[in-house]
């Protein structure tokens, strides 16, 4: 295993940890303090100042000029940013339908969808061993998700499943868009490519969501400001997670990055037990085992 591989694996695990913390805060805020749109906006609005400051500071420290950004960069960045907004909105709405861990699990269909979209858009290919590891992880995720909602019919035919699958597809589009954007920046420094892309995307998301809320949800921006003591931490964890994802995308196929990032499901189960006092079934332990085997296979074989 090369240092390059080790870097993207470490970044993927770190991104999953940051993202779990951020979703915990986002769930808390969406359970009364803010609407779904407000909780989604808070994630971007409170990340933006930190990300922009970090990007400008890093460029100044490195003595590097702002990189040239061509048309393809803006297409990838804006399409990825819009997809992430819609995906985050779906996840926050999903929390009202299922418990925290299962809500995150439904989202994890993004891995298979990312592999397909990455192949179509960027030509990213998956090796046979990588595909086997991803499929094992998917089985683990499906086992974790195999839980019906009383009165809503089979698990594949309810609002929660639709929101989860939609969020997975949208996160897949955003990941491929972000990888495409970072690859459009002419630099040998993966962190520079990541932080510049992230600063632009987060700024566009914050202003776009602000305009939407001002139009559709009067007073919600004021509530986001009032929730700043909690929301600012959501912004910091969101920045940490996004920065790790973006940097990993510059180093490796987005599907592999997301596959290792499935460790977030294990983190979210820990959060369910320790913070939300939700119970873990034997079936979920089996799913964790398969998911762990999948991640280990990717770490050792890819």
For the segment 189-203, what is each residue's pLDDT rounded down to a tens digit? Answer: 999 999 999 999 999
Tokens 């819009």 map to which residue?
82
- Tokens in use for 7? 């870097």
Least confident span in 92-106, 171-185, 239-253, 284-298:
92-106
Assign 136 a pLDDT band (cuts: 50, 70, 90): confident
User: In the chain, what percentage of residues exceed pLDDT 90?
Assistant: 35
User: pTM for this one?
Assistant: 0.81
What pLDDT was estimated at residue 100?
55
For the segment 92-128, what is each residue's pLDDT rounded down to a tens digit? Answer: 777 666 555 555 666 767 888 888 899 889 888 888 8
For the segment 10-40, what is each residue's pLDDT rounded down to a tens digit? Answer: 999 999 888 888 777 766 666 667 787 887 8
Please give the residue that has the higher pLDDT: either 104 or 87. Answer: 87
What pLDDT was estimated at residue 103?
59
Distance CA 150, CA 262 (A): 27
Distances (CA, A) of 222 to 63, 211, 218, 238: 39, 13, 9, 21
Interacting residues of 252 by C-beta distance below 8 A, sequence separation 6+: 5, 8
Q: Please check whether residue 22 is in contact with residue 244, taking contact to mean a CB–CB distance below 8 angstroms.
A: no
Please give the residue that has the higher pLDDT: either 86 or 148. Answer: 86
What pLDDT was estimated at residue 150?
39
Interacting residues of 115 by C-beta distance below 8 A, sequence separation 6+: 124, 126, 131, 134, 255
Range of the domain at 186: 3-63+70-301
SS3 121: helix
User: Total domain count for the chain?
Assistant: 1
What pLDDT was estimated at residue 291?
77
Indicate whether 217 pLDDT > 60: yes
67: left (phi over 0), alpha (psi -120 to 50) or beta: beta
The residue among 69, 47, 57 whose CA lies nearest residue 182 is: 69
What pLDDT was estimated at residue 95?
67
Residue 105: exposed, middle, or buried by beta-carbon count in 10 A (0-12, 13-18, 19+)? buried
What pLDDT was estimated at residue 38?
85
- Average pLDDT for 204-221: 93
């Amino acid at each position: 295993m090369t240092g390059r591989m080790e870097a993207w694996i470490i970044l993927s695990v770190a991104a999953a940890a940051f993202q779990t913390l951020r979703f915990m805060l986002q769930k808390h805020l969406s359970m009364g303090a803010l609407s779904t749109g407000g909780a989604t906006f808070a994630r971007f609005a409170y990340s933006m100042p930190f990300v922009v400051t970090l990007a400008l500071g890093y460029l100044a420290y490195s003595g590097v000029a702002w990189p040239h950004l061509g048309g393809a960069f803006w297409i990838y960045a804006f399409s990825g940013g819009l997809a992430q907004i819609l995906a985050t909105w779906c996840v926050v709405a999903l929390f009202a339908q299922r418990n925290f861990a299962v809500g995150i699990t439904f989202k994890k269909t993004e891995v298979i969808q990312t592999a397909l979209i990455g192949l179509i858009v960027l030509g990213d290919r998956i090796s046979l061993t990588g595909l086997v590891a991803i499929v094992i992880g998917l089985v683990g995720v499906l086992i974790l998700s195999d839980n019906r909602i009383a009165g809503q019919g089979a698990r594949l035919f309810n609002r929660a499943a639709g929101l989860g699958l939609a969020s997975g597809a949208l996160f897949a589009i955003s990941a491929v868009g972000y990888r495409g954007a970072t690859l459009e920046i002419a630099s040998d420094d993966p962190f520079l490519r990541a932080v510049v892309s992230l600063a632009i995307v987060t700024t566009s998301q914050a202003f776009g969501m602000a305009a939407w809320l001002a139009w559709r949800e009067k007073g919600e921006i004021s509530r986001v400001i009032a929730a700043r003591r909690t929301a600012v931490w959501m912004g910091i964890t969101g920045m940490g997670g996004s920065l790790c994802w973006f940097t990993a995308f510059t180093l490796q196929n987005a599907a592999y990055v997301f596959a290792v990032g499935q460790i977030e499901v294990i983190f979210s189960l820990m959060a369910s037990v320790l913070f939300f006092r939700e119970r873990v079934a034997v079936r979920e332990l089996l799913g964790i085992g398969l998911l762990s085997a999948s991640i280990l296979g990717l770490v050792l074989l890819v």
